[in-house]
Amino acid sequence: MVGYSAYQLDPGPLEPSVLTQQLTHRSRDIWDGNVNMILNTRRCDGKFWDLVKKYPIHPRVLEVIELSGLYGIYRSNRPSIDRSLITSLVERWRPETHTFHFRTGEATITLQDVEVLYGLPVNGDPVLGDESIRTIGDWQNICQRLLGFIPRPQNFNRSSLKVTALNAHMLEQQQLPNLATQDMINQMARCYMFWMIAGMMMADTSGNYLKLMFLPMLEDLSVVSSYSWGSATLACLYHFLCKASQSNQNEIAGFLPLLQIWAWERVTVLKPQVIAQRDTENNFLAGLPRGPHATRWFAHFSWTNTTKHVLKVFRDALDSMTEDQFIWEPYSDDLIENLPDYCRIGRDIWRVRAPIFCWDVVEVHLPDRVMRQFGLKQTIPTPFLFDATHFHHDRRGRPNTNWKLEHAQWLPFWNQRLQYICDAPFNREPLRYDDPYLIWFKRITRLVIGNPTQRPQQQKGYVPNSTAYETMVRHIHSMVDRARALGDQPSMKDLYIFRAMVRNEGEKCLTYVHEADRINVQADYRRDELHDDHLHSPVRR
């Protein structure tokens, strides 16, 4: 990227102290003109939803799933994922802070979102294990004992199982006999839970395979609910967001329904209008609890006021988003109290600042950066000392690893999590433009993703921000015309009048783009250095 002068549009960061990986972030490529990079979304749950739609889960099996803590995943059903919307969010995700950097400040998916939206337990043991080396024969024996069938050798890929093999077995067993033994019920329940864990909550980029490392964790069904499945799901999503934010990536995995519904709950310029709920009552027993909050998005939508599948529109909407277009607290106190118990049982740790785990994955949960999401005052956050290239680490080349020992330096934070609860005074008022946090944030962030100078002169179809640009250009032209009228030797009186005009026209421009509060703020939003080559350049892989 060429050096900046004080008069060029500077997307940020003006100070490189926080966003140290800007040189390899995908927003840099977008600014340089590569604007149409839509990520592939990897998931393997299509056959699962086809199966349960055609053959609803047996009531006795569903009772086992409810006790496991994974019931909310099934009740929420499958949303259609918008790849363009996901891509526009990834463009604003920062691996250095585990937050989205919007114009209004930092925001992120927290443990509160995971539990409220999907009812996954967040307060429990970390999802870790001992990854022993196992042969295909070993895995066949484990599948026979826990799932009730023996997959063929060709259905394995090292320590992963083909989705089609599991699906074929479940199709054969869709009608359990009324006198089925409890072992048969438990085996079928494990089939569903294994698919939900490995194919949805912790889905990887393989697309067609399920990681078998999660299967032994389901052996004792009485302890399945003791794991913090919510924090593990969030750790995986953080991990894939961090990876996908790099310019050399073209796909993303993880629990993408959580990401999309989180955005619909909070960003008004992204969410569709719900017309009517889809009828799912016939699929659930009257005695089972209601679904989590995400079930409200299993509905028929209207797209009159928003778009879908158009990356440029999503990007532009986030580039120009105003404070009133972001909902900091979508879950009111009344809403939370009216949710099923399993959606709020872990509320004591929703604001814990600690690492979160899922086998090889270690990420960090930083609610102190988004205190406004909890109705609390936001201050300038302190950094969490963490490996900046954490998302490059994975399980490859790490056989026979005990992940509890591997993460021994981070586990005490989670085990003593109640000591790391973030707190601040209540404050539900919008931040003033001159708030110290906002002044700091606008210097360290990347405010604009789309580069207006890269747009073609004769653009067809949607023109981003066209009315705002036209209005500002009109004001600039009026100032230029007035300057020409002054002549070569204007009087001091004319210069004072011209200066007042420039100030008034500038105020009109800022008012039009919803930045009127900036007029009275003495903050310098210029880069300290002319060039950005002093940014730390991480290794590109």
Establish if 441 belongs to a structural domain. Answer: no
The domain boundary, picked from 384, 419, 454, lies at 419
> Contact at 8 Å (CB) between 68 and 189?
yes
pLDDT at 533: 42
Range ranked top by mean pLDDT from 6-20, 240-254, 384-398: 240-254
390, 419, 448: which is the final residue of a domain? 419
Query: Rounded to whole angstroms, how far apart are CA atoms 322 and 514?
Result: 7
Mean pLDDT of 269-282: 79
Q: Give me the pLDDT at residue 178, please.
A: 76
3-state SS of the chain: helix, strand, coil percent to 5? 45, 10, 45
What band does 2 get if pLDDT is binned at 50, 70 and 90?
Answer: very low
Q: Give the pLDDT band of residue 541 (cuts 50, 70, 90).
A: very low
How many domains does the structure of the chain reveal? 2
Tell which residue, 299, 340, 308, 377, has the closest CA to residue 79.
299
Does residue 524 lie within any of the structural domains? no
What is the reported pLDDT for 45? 82
Is 458 within a domain? no
Whether residues 348 and 493 fall in one domain:
no
Mean pLDDT within 27-47: 87
Whether 537 is in a domain gets the answer no
pLDDT tens digits, one per residue of 179-214? 889 999 999 999 999 999 999 999 998 878 999 999
Whole-number pLDDT of residue 198 = 95
Q: Considering the domain boundaries, does residue 414 fall inside one?
A: yes
Per-residue pLDDT at 156 exceeds 80: yes
Strand 99-102, strand 93-94: pairing:
antiparallel
Q: Is the pLDDT of residue 74 over 60?
A: yes
Tell me which of 356, 391, 419 is where a domain ends: 419
Query: Does residue 535 carry a pLDDT above 60?
Result: no
256 & 329 share domain: yes
In which band, very low, low, confident or very high, does the pLDDT at 436 lie, cut at 50, 70 and 90?
very high
pLDDT band at 5 (very low <50, low <70, confident <90, very high): very low
Residue 75 belongs to a domain: yes
170 in any annotated domain: yes
**What's residue 461's pLDDT?**
66
Percent of the chain whose pLDDT exceeds 90: 59
Average pLDDT over residues 410-432: 94
Amino acid 537: pLDDT: 46
Q: Are residues 338 and 483 in the same domain?
A: no
Could you tell me if 407 and 482 lie in one domain? no
**Cα–Cα distance, 97 to 95 (Å, whole number):** 6
- 381 pLDDT exceeds 50? yes
Task: Write out pLDDT tens, residues 13-36.
Answer: 999 999 999 999 999 999 988 888
522: in domain = no
Rounded to the nearest integer, the mean pLDDT of the chain is 87
With beta carbons less than 8 A apart as the criterion, state whether 204 and 255 touch.
no
Quick check: 6 pLDDT over 70? no
Do 390 and 470 share a domain, yes or no? no
Domain ranges, residue 487: 465-517
Whether the pLDDT of residue 284 is over 80: the answer is no
Confidence of residue 433 (pLDDT cuts 50, 70, 90): confident
Q: Is cis: bond before 56, omega within 30 of 0?
A: no
Higher pLDDT, 397 or 158: 158
Do 122 and 209 reside in the same domain of the chain? yes
Alpha helices in 175-282 (DSSP H): 182-196, 229-244, 256-266
Same domain, 413 and 489: no
pLDDT at 9 over 60: yes
Model confidence pLDDT, tens digit, residues 336-361:
999 999 999 999 999 999 999 999 99
Same domain, 360 and 489: no
Q: Using one digit for the tens of pLDDT, what is the confidence trace for 516-531?
A: 777 777 777 777 654 4
The whole-number pLDDT of residue 534 equals: 44
Query: In terms of Cα–Cα distance, which of 541, 255, 233, 239 is closest to 387?
Result: 239
% pLDDT > 70, the chain = 89
Of the listed ranges 23-32, 210-219, 301-310, the one predicted with least confidence: 301-310
Hey, what are 411's tokens? 């586990």
Task: Say whether pLDDT at 1 is over 50.
Answer: no
On whether both 146 and 242 belong to a single domain, the answer is yes
**Please, which pLDDT band fits residue 7 given cuts at 50, 70 and 90?**
very low
454-471: string of b/e by CB count within 10 Å (b at 16+)? ebeeeeeeeebbeeeeee
Identify whether residues 411 and 472 lie together within a single domain. no
**Residues 17, 348: Cα–Cα separation, whole Å:** 32
pLDDT at 4: 41
One-letter amino acid at 21 equals Q
Same domain, 219 and 353: yes
Specify the pLDDT at position 238: 97
What backbone phi and psi angles, to 5 degrees, belong to 354?
Answer: -160, 160
- Co-location of 98 and 246 in the same domain: yes
